[in-house]
Structure 1
Amino acid sequence: MANSKILFVTSEAYPLIKTGGLGDVAGSLPVALKAQRNDVRVIMPAYRDAMRKAEKLGFVSFQIDGVPDTVRLLEGRLPGTSVKLLLVDSPAHFDRPGGPYCDPDGHDWADNAERFATFCRVVTAVALNKAALDWQPDVVHCNDWQSGLVPALLAPHPNRPATIFTIHNLAYHGFFDSSKFQSLNLPHYLWGMQGLEFHGGLSFIKGGLIFADMISTVSPTYAEEIRTPHFGHGLDGLLNHRADRLQGILNGIDYKQWNPAND
């Protein structure tokens, strides 16, 4: 897939910040896609650590459709690469100590729903060329629950990019109390069993599983496992319903980072 414009959406990316396998993938797959002559841009939250480590960072947009004017976009480079990096700078949500999802004591941030809803709204604006960047991707590649609202928010737009949603760990749903649906001011069409409702609560990951054009996982085996009750975490029925759109693709290896000759 050469000469495509790809927006790679992630909540972490090595070496900026990493908690697990998603960070490794987000730090290497965009580099590999760019090497195949694609125009790839990685977008992630402007965490404090990410701001410190990003290269050639500067402001690119203060005019982002659908978000407060306190939110802005920064542009730089993934360290050690030529891949463009977009950071969603919302200090109230991301400029804080601790990890991307938890506070320094290891507890989930109480405002995670608000944090990643804001992130997803900015991603949606970029995907629709409504962030004053004069650039619209052909494909938006979302990863895990933190970006699950993006395919859902893009769904009703006739000129939207294609969307793919990758499941790295289905155990994490991004599950919140149903009251968050209204407080986040999400579109009414997204509520219900055919939307983001899950056992009476709000599930971010369902946005990706229901509304993405394609779904992928980290291996063919995992794609089969998550369609069973044992590994499906209550979503196996939905994944079986969308089995024709589900593909397991084995994660590759970054030989520069994981080279036995240098370990």
Structure 2
Amino acid sequence: MKILFVCSEAYPLIKTGGLGDVGGALPRALQKRGSQVRLLLPAYGAVMANAKESGVKLLLEFECDGVPLKLWQTRLPGSRVTTWLVDAPEFSARDGGPYTDSNGVDWHDNAWRFYLFSRVAEKISTGELPVDFVPDITHCNDWQTGLVPALLSRHKNKPATVFTIHNLAYGGIFNYDTFAALKLPDAWWHHEKLEFWGNFSYLKAGIVFADAVTTVSPSYAEEIQTPQFGHGLEGLLTHRKANLSGIVNGIDCQVWNPGSDSHLPCKYTRRSLKRRVENKRALQAEKNLPVNANIPMFGFVGRLVEQKGVSLILEVMQPLLAAGECQLVAVGTGQREFEQGLLKLQDQYPEAVAVTIGYSEQLSHWVEAGCDMFLMPSLFEPCGLNQMYSQRYGAVPICHYVGGLRDTVVNFCKSQLEAYTNGNLSLEQVDETGFLFRKPTPTALTECINRALACYQQPELWRKLQLNGMHKDFSWQHSCEGYMELYQGLLEG
């Protein structure tokens, strides 16, 4: 099976979030299953710099919509996945991020940049470019590639198309003038096509035109068909229900492995779980917190945005910290109000709170290995990866019962805690891995944290919860099997 995997980021070449993790891991997993995979990425300046370390060669030069383009070939570092980089000056000749400038403002020509990228994907998919690879499946991801299935719908001989929604909140929405400037077919300016409440949406294009639409967890696939989570697309997604499915993301179990993780001061496994506490002590020392192996430490790593429930964390942690009952280590960047809120907590409780504004891969691993409980009270979460990382690292997750969090964390509830405390539940009967709360409110999160703290005070029970999480298989193998079945069904259908 030949698969063209079209994505706007892929770790370790470029990453801004979970999409980058998937873009780097799923193509590798598919190739290991015997598929021929080509990963197609924009040739951002940072990508070209990273690619040169593993070798890059010019594959061809061509013109698309009057624009001279180059296609470079490299390999995804640490893999055998052939990676093609679409080089337009709008990608390669800029500093800043993939979607925003150095001030965090969206590039003014994002619509044009990703239109060009989509056109190259179209040309490869239909055999118009001499690259000796015509895919059976073209798999597109998020709004940046949403035009690809639409463009391919105009061709009689085309591969089957899959469009994966990683986060419905980002729609790639632009105005009519942009639609007209891209010279898209007039018929597409229609509420059953690309038109979206007076604008048009790249994401909607993918949903409308792809042969199959997937998202990154079964629960999220259900949720986005409701007004609460549908962002105005719930009607269309319900209409496409027969072609919509949810496949939980995997994690890279080589990168995220506490037994071999070079980012950690002290490596450990399930069999040497006692060694884990050395990472906590080292993290406390690194962050100038009192070194105390017994005080419960909460961890947070993520984008500091409303979606991640940061306002809940700020409100709930205040009384806990004031009582001297815990420590908090947080790593992230995002909205200024949340950055300032965390820094204010740090100023108020300098011996209990350590905040790092920014992203650090090393510190992200270290927090997972050092904290006792990982906070993930997201208001919505298509899949989430950190709750899987935390379980693999023996950090017990505290999560909102939503999306991929409810699909990957097994809740240890209040009645079970009471039964265990009263001697009516044995350790052998405990197969849960974390704590979930139903409503995204401070009261519900506080109750959930108190439940976790009560379990933390019972070392044998806590160790069992840790080991349960560490035993779970979150590898890409399961996810890959789901995608392979989907692809096969499209080709046979």
Q: Which TM class, normalised by the smaller chain length?
A: over 0.9
Residue 51 of structure 1 corresponds to 48
Residue 178 of structure 1 corresponds to 176
Higher helix share: 2
- Rg larger in structure: 2
**Higher alpha-carbon deviation: 212-221 or 191-200:** 191-200
Residue 76 of structure 2 corresponds to 78
Secondary structure in structure 2 of the residue aligned to 1:6: strand
Residue 97 of structure 1 corresponds to 95
1:232 aligns with 2:230: yes
How far apart in 1 are the matches of 2:203 and 2:225?
15
Secondary structure in structure 1 of the residue aligned to 2:221: helix
Q: For residue 69 of structure 1, report the CA deviation from its aligned partner.
A: 4.7
Residue 20 of structure 2 corresponds to 23
Residue 489 of structure 2 corresponds to none
Give 1:176-255 correspondences, 5 Å limit: 176-255=174-253
How far apart in 2 are the matches of 1:95 and 1:31?
28
Q: Is the 8 A contact 2:43 2:91 kept in 1?
A: no
Q: For residue 232 of structure 1, report the CA deviation from its aligned partner.
A: 0.3
How far apart in 2 are the matches of 1:53 and 1:68?
29
Q: Is the 8 A contact 1:63 1:132 kept in 2?
A: no
Q: For residue 188 of structure 1, report the CA deviation from its aligned partner.
A: 2.4
Change (3 A) 1:18 1:133: same
How far apart in 1 are the matches of 2:46 and 2:65?
23
1:52 corresponds to which letter in structure 2? A
Residue 127 of structure 1 corresponds to 125
1:184-208 deviation digits (Å, cap 9, x = unpaired): 1112232211211101112101110
Which one has more relative contact order, counting CA pairs under 8 Å at least 6 apart? 1
Q: Is the 8 A contact 1:12 1:23 kept in 2?
A: yes
Structure 1: give runs of 5+ residues left out of the alignment: none
Q: For residue 91 of structure 1, report the CA deviation from its aligned partner.
A: 1.2
1:16 corresponds to which letter in structure 2? L
1:18-39 deviation digits (Å, cap 9, x = unpaired): 0111100010110010001110
**Higher alpha-carbon deviation: 5-14 or 183-192:** 183-192
How far apart in 1 are the matches of 2:198 and 2:91?
26
2:6 corresponds to which letter in structure 1? V
Give 1:133-152 correspondences, 5 Å limit: 133-152=131-150
How many residues are paired up?
259
Residue 10 of structure 2 corresponds to 13
How far apart in 2 are the matches of 1:148 and 1:175?
11
Secondary structure in structure 1 of the residue aligned to 2:55: strand
**1:167 aligned to 165, 168, 175, which one?**
165
Secondary structure in structure 1 of the residue aligned to 2:83: strand
Residue 61 of structure 1 corresponds to 60
Secondary structure in structure 2 of the residue aligned to 1:254: coil
**1:258 aligned to 248, 256, 269, which one?**
256
Q: For residue 158 of structure 1, report the CA deviation from its aligned partner.
A: 1.0
Secondary structure in structure 2 of the residue aligned to 1:26: helix
Cα RMSD for the two superposed structures? 1.1
How far apart in 2 are the matches of 1:111 and 1:239?
28
Q: Is the 8 A contact 1:46 1:89 kept in 2?
A: yes
How far apart in 2 are the matches of 1:242 and 1:211?
10
Q: For residue 144 of structure 1, report the CA deviation from its aligned partner.
A: 0.2
Secondary structure in structure 2 of the residue aligned to 1:172: coil
**Higher alpha-carbon deviation: 55-64 or 164-173:** 55-64
Q: Is the 8 A contact 2:218 2:247 kept in 1?
A: yes
How far apart in 2 are the matches of 1:246 and 1:131?
31
How far apart in 1 are the matches of 2:65 and 2:249?
34
1:112 aligns with 2:110: yes
Q: Is the 8 A contact 1:94 1:115 kept in 2?
A: no
Secondary structure in structure 2 of the residue aligned to 1:224: helix
Q: Is the 8 A contact 1:46 1:95 kept in 2?
A: no
1:110 corresponds to which letter in structure 2? H
Runs of 4+ that moved beyond 6 A: none
1:207-256 deviation digits (Å, cap 9, x = unpaired): 10000000111100110111110100000000000000000001112101
How far apart in 1 are the matches of 2:229 and 2:240?
16
1:65-87 deviation digits (Å, cap 9, x = unpaired): x4335211111100111100000
Secondary structure in structure 1 of the residue aligned to 2:208: helix
